[in-house]
Amino acid sequence: MMCVLDSCIDINAPPQCVWDVLIDFASWGEWNPFIPVIAGKLEAGERLQITVSPPGIKPMEFKPRVFVVRPGREIIWGGSFLLFVYRGDHAMALDLLPGGGTRFRQCERFRGPMVLFMGRMFRPTEQGYHEMNRALKERVEGRARNRQGITCT
> pLDDT of 49-66, one tens digit each?
999 999 999 999 999 999
Note the pTM of the prediction, 2 decimals.
0.89
pLDDT at residue number 150: 44
pLDDT at residue number 48: 97
pLDDT at 153 > cutoff 60 = no
**Cα gap 6→82, rounded to integer Å:** 25
pLDDT mean over 142-146: 77
| CB environment 91-129: b (16+ within 10 A), e (fewer) | bbbbeeeeeebbebbbbbbbbbebbeeeeeebeebbbbb
CB atoms inside a 10 Å sphere around CB 139? 22
Strands 49-52 and 37-39: antiparallel
| CA separation, residue 24 to residues 29, 117, 132, 137, 140 (Å) | 10, 34, 15, 15, 12
**Cα gap 31→13, rounded to integer Å:** 17
Domains and CATH numbers, the chain: 2-143 (3.30.530.20)
Dihedral sign, CA of 42, 48, 53, 54?
Answer: positive
pLDDT at residue number 83: 67
Q: When comparing pLDDT for 95 and 84, which is higher?
A: 95
**Which of 75, 50, 54 has its CA nearest to residue 120?**
54
Task: Tell me the range of 19-33, 80-94, 97-111 where mean pLDDT is highest.
Answer: 19-33
What residues contact 28, with CB distance under 8 A and at least 6 apart?
35, 36, 37, 38
Ranges 4-8, 90-94, 103-107, 147-151: which has the least confidence: 147-151
